[in-house]
């Protein structure tokens, strides 16, 4: 007996292809915003890391000043990073104990050599790749943006005044 082989081709119908394309389109529309937000999440995490580094450094320097008897106002304390000016046991954001003056982030947070830097009598602005630093007599900020970083709203900040000091993070603009 002769067997007759029936040949037919296997494949997708047009309806099946359209359904798969529609499902892939729905998945991409719902999943795409999650993937597009990675840059903002990375910036927020970096700024939070800077806040942690500044907080740890301020705590360590405060302990150094207390041990050295530097709890008074306008006291110069010898640190592992050189002579630096303290007020009430906390490092100033701008130390006039050195010539030229040094700034908190410049002295205590190792970012390497800046790609650009502008220093005058009252402020220091530096860039390290995508990261910017703004320092004045009262505030040190590090984050993303330009100038004093206030417009960008993506920075960690060490604020030191005659009566208070605080560490904050602003991530609204990341």
C-alpha separations of 34 from 30, 40, 44, 125, 150 in Å: 8, 11, 15, 34, 27
Q: Tell me, rounded to whole angstroms, the distance of Cα 102 from its chain centroid.
A: 21
Residue 6 has pLDDT above 60, yes or no: no
Residue 9 has pLDDT above 70, yes or no: no
Nearest to 161, CA basis, from 136, 133, 126: 136
**Mean of all residue pLDDT scores within the chain:** 88
Q: Is the pTM of this model over 0.75?
A: yes
Lowest-pLDDT range of 12-16, 40-44, 61-65, 78-82? 12-16
Nearest to 143, CA basis, from 51, 52, 36: 51
d(CA 139, CA 128): 18
Domain boundaries in the chain? Answer: 38-170
């Amino acid at each position: 007996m002769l067997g007759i082989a029936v040949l037919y081709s296997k494949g997708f119908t047009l309806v099946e292809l359209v359904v798969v394309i529609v499902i892939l389109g729905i998945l991409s529309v719902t999943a795409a915003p999650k993937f597009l937000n990675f840059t903002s999440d990375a910036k927020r995490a970096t700024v939070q890391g800077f806040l942690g580094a500044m907080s740890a450094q301020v705590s360590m320097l405060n302990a150094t000043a207390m041990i050295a008897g530097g709890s008074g106002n306008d006291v110069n304390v010898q640190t592992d990073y050189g002579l630096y000016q303290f007020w009430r046991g906390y490092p100033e954001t701008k130390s006039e104990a050195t010539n030229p003056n040094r700034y908190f982030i410049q002295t205590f947070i190792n970012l390497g050599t800046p790609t650009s830097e502008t220093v005058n009598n009252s402020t220091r602005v530096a860039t390290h790749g995508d990261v910017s630093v703004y320092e004045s007599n009262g505030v040190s900020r590090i984050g993303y943006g330009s100038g004093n970083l206030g417009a960008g709203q993506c920075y960690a900040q060490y604020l030191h005044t005659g009566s208070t000091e605080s560490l904050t993070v602003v991530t609204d603009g990341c």
